[in-house]
Every structure is written in structure tokens, then in C-alpha cells.
Chain A
Amino acid sequence: MSYKIAVVGDQETVTGFALAGATYVHIHATREETLAKLSEFFASGEIGLVLITHRIAEELGLDFRWMSRAKRLLPLVLRIPDKTGYVPKVDELREIIRRTVGAGIMVRKEGS
């Protein structure tokens, strides 16, 4: 199946990816607007990937995390740095590793 790409970001991010061929774009201004746009993207069925800057994802907080968890396999969601290169200190995947695999297995894996 073919899918299109959506971008949620600041002015620069959106301009850049629009130049690159991303079909749907939303420039973040208010939480309410952006959340509404995101739920539209998630429900659309023709979007395969939503790119969103870390900064905005963080600002949307729990609402966004719940939305991402409740969605189906598609669209994929990827958080990206903005122009300033901002990425949060707590890496989501690292957090998952800590929770699921834990230090025990990591040590055992190296030891085995």
C-alpha cells in the first residue's frame, strides 16, 4: 500500500520538508490546533508517517503520548530534532530498555 507523509513542526522544519515533497504539513501554533491536526492525521488512513519535532511533542506532553499509544500500527510516528538540533535528555528507547530488558539481562547477554 502507498502512503503519504505528514510533518508537524515549526516554520523551518515544515518549509524544508514541504520542499522535499511531504504532502501534509502543519505549523505548530497552539496545543489545541496541533492536537486536532494530529488526530486528523492519525485517523486519515492515507498517511504512512508523521514527523514531529521533539520540542513540539514535548510541549503536547501526555495528550500526544496517549494518542500515539492508542493509534493503530499506521501512521508511523517519528520525533525529529528541529533547526536547533534539540533532542530531550531522556531517550524514549533507552527508557524502554531499562524497563523491559533491565540491567540483569544486559549483563548476562554480554557475559554469555
Chain B
Amino acid sequence: MSANRLIKIELSKLNVHLPERRLSLREALSSAKPQVVARDGSVHTFKREELEFLAGLLPEADRDKLQLPILIALEPKLGRGTARISGEAEAKVVSQVLEKELTAGELLIYRPEVAILRRKLPTTTQYLFLW
């Protein structure tokens, strides 16, 4: 059935804006033009002021752990508008930006928080759609 195929195509297109390989904060900071290449071939550039802002939030040793862009994972099974931030360093940074207490290594955030996060880190965060 063609509707089936259309939906599959639609789903496969959801994440083409994400990079093949992410960049650690350390790599990004030391690069003259900090950028990643997305799966659709487009180039995504990080703003230096954002990178420096992030560096200020993390202990020096964590700069290798923080992978950019930070992924805001939207997953319908978490409930509409709920997003997961995976990764220890990523969760640490985001919880600080949102002034939110961090309980486990993983962080769940809600729609108004997603909006704030996107405003404060427009180039160093990206949406990821999971199912």
C-alpha cells in the first residue's frame, strides 16, 4: 500500500538534519570553524559564544565527554512534548542551563523547558526523533 511507503519515507526524513559524527566540546573549541556535516550533506556551524558558554559550565575534564550538538530526543512513548537528554555531560550542562535538579545520569525535560533550551543554545542543540 502506498500510504505505508509514504509514512516510511516520512519517518526516514525526520532525522536527516543530524550529523554523521558529533564533535566533542574540546574538538569544537579548538577548531577554527567548528562545524558538523549532516546526513543530508548540509553543514551546521556552532556559534563560538555558545561553545564558550558551555565550556564555562563544565569542568575541564568533561570537555571530551560533551558531544555536540546536544540531542533533544523527542519520543512519543515518553508522552507528547517530553524529551530525553542522554549522556552524562550533556545532562549536566542542560540541567544547569535550565536550573533543574539532576537526579540520574539521564534527564527528562518538558516542552517549555525545550523552548528555553533552544533559545539559550540555538546552534549547539538539535532535535532527534525516536521511535
**A touches B (Cβ under 8 A):** yes
Residue A30 interfacial (CB < 8 Å): no
> B residues 106-126 with Cβ under 8 Å of A?
110-112
B44 to chain A, nearest CB (A): 17
A112 at the interface (CB under 8 A from B): yes
Task: Judge if B81 is at the interface, Cβ distance under 8 Å.
Answer: yes
**Docked complex Cα distance between A112 and B111 (Å):** 8
Chain B, interface residues (CB within 8 Å), range: under 10
Residue in chain B with minimal CB distance to A110: B112
- A interface bracket (residues with beta carbon within 8 Å of B): under 10
Chain A residues with Cβ under 8 A from B112's Cβ?
A: 112
- Which residues of A, 61-112, contact B by the 8 Å Cβ criterion? 109, 112
Q: Which residue of A lies closest to B110 (CB)?
A: A112
Contacts of A112 in B (CB 8 A): 81, 110-112
Nearest chain B CB to A11's CB is how many angstroms away?
Answer: 40
CA distance A109 to B110 in the complex (A): 12
Q: Tell me the bound Cα distance from A51 to B81 in angstroms.
A: 39
Contact with A along B92-115 (1 / 0, CB 8 A): 000000000000000000111000
Enumerate chain A residues within 8 angstroms of B110, measured Cβ to Cβ: 112
Q: In angstroms, how far is the closest chain B Cβ from the Cβ of A105? A: 11
CA gap between A10 and B81 in the complex, in Å? 48
CA distance A109 to B80 in the complex (A): 12
A109 to B114 Cα, complex, angstroms: 12
Name B residues whose Cβ lies closer than 8 Å to a Cβ of A.
Answer: 81, 110-112
On A, residues with C-beta under 8 Å from B are 109, 112
Q: Closest 5 A-B residue pairs measured CB to CB?
A: A112-B111, A112-B112, A112-B81, A112-B110, A109-B111
